[in-house]
Structure 1
């Protein structure tokens, strides 16, 4: 069965109009053409559509023609579903997806379960709940990566605290080198988030000499409205590092100015955490 046919089958089972079924995910006219098979739907939009209508991603893909050319694969769809649930903080969705995958025979079942277990632990702020073998597999997979894809990069972003500093320096330099020239805003945010975390680790360990590569790489990424916040935080760390190198009060003052500006923007909790970090590491 093709994607459009299966979507229509589910829609009719729920007695919904095409407009109601498409919701805010797709325009009704575009969705109508998807059902007819004349428009192709992206994997991401398909996942969003299934979630919006409370349809199991796994059950849906099991009913499709395995050679359907309109999607990359069930494997990719499961990754998208897991990532979407994680970034929305939807713990219940992650648990449901975990249970569905555990009962099924999806491609890369073990890897999907590993990722979901880590995501759930991060949301719960309970890293101790991660099985040792699961954590070891995740760390080994990332550490062995020479060329990152989007999923491996996201996995590393979420597992960065599991590595020691020297391991993080090796892995992060590969990722930053590969993606610092990428024009995707999502990729740029991921890379800047990695750089910020590495700067935090280096400053805490007083390994200031390791930070030049990361500061220079971040500056190669053009500042846009979408990544302005990340660049502001990087400026804070750059000034703190300058203060350690030159012991000039102006750099410390600029750190406090940045903290105040972040607080004025409404991010009081984050500004407070930056202030604590500054007081402990100046």
Structure 2
């Protein structure tokens, strides 16, 4: 349209925010999006038709992600690698592609082959997004990339998440945050930093009080028992998980040998 970004947005959002929308780093609300179209006399119906037309081309993307999750849980290395190739060739968000690349690297033991430059590129994404801890894409990316961070960095990012209004986030976002905590607890165990697990415990306590998060709270209690040396409680939780259909979860937990 021959307009600058400032002229195009008419003050509906800030120029810096909109600049990141254009680069795929921020998401704009439907209300603001339609308001900008209206102020620029753009045919909303034409834009919507274009969006839905493009959506037809990528309608299989959610299915790819479901398949990837199943392959990851089954540790099916070949399938993960194959799905990674398909997703890299799709129109998915760049953060999702990076997350999937990391999943493939973890499952196929290729994390060590990532160059420092590649690791730094991933880490930079958290500085490029305003309020990364409020952004679903960067939260998901963090969950999948925690293995490339030093422990001090992990602790710093956990403190940032803790400062957000966790309980009032969408359930899907809270689930991602809960998964981050599960990965963080394991890192605390691996790095012998049990005292730092308190940030994860506080986040888990901040989740909405709904049954969906029951398994996360059970696992958090397991790590509390593990870090305090309470072998009896730890064994009881493992037994409970095995008895009630959560053997996959129980098998991923480090065992208490005290």
Residue matched to 1:208:
194
Residue matched to 1:36:
none
**Cα deviations by residue, 1:92-139 (Å, 9 ceiling, x for unpaired):** 3431342456xxxx9x87x67645533432343432454543332112
Are 1:265 and 2:244 an aligned pair? Answer: yes
Contact 1:180 1:218 in 2 (8 A): no
Residue matched to 2:28:
none
Q: How many residues align?
A: 201
Gaps of 5+ in 2: 1-44, 72-78
Are 1:277 and 2:255 an aligned pair? Answer: yes
Residue matched to 1:43:
none
Q: Which region of structure 1 is more displaced relative to structure 2, 125-134 or 161-170?
A: 125-134
**Cα distance in structure 1, aligned partners of 2:149 and 2:52:** 32
Q: How far 1:233 moved relative to its partner?
A: 0.4
Contact 1:117 1:130 in 2 (8 A): no
**Cα deviations by residue, 1:49-80 (Å, 9 ceiling, x for unpaired):** xxxxxxxxxxxxxxxx98336749979x79x6
Per the alignment, do residues 121 and 226 of structure 1 end up closer, same or farther by CA in structure 2, a change over 3 Å counting? same
Per the alignment, do residues 254 and 159 of structure 1 end up closer, same or farther by CA in structure 2, a change over 3 Å counting? same
Q: State the TM-score, normalizing by the size of structure 1.
A: 0.57
What pairs with 1:1-282 in structure 2 (closer than 5 Å)? 67-68=47-48, 71=51, 83-84=65-66, 86-89=68-71, 91=80, 92-99=82-89, 114-142=98-126, 145=129, 147-148=131-132, 149-178=135-164, 180-241=166-227, 243=228, 251-274=230-253, 276-279=254-257, 282=258
**Cα distance in structure 2, aligned partners of 1:138 and 1:151:** 12
Q: How far 1:271 moved relative to its partner?
A: 2.4
Contact 2:162 2:199 in 1 (8 A): no
Aligned-residue CA RMSD (Å):
3.6
SS in 2 for 1:68: helix
Q: How far 1:263 moved relative to its partner?
A: 1.2
Gaps of 5+ in 1: 1-64, 245-250
Per the alignment, do residues 263 and 134 of structure 1 end up closer, same or farther by CA in structure 2, a change over 3 Å counting? same
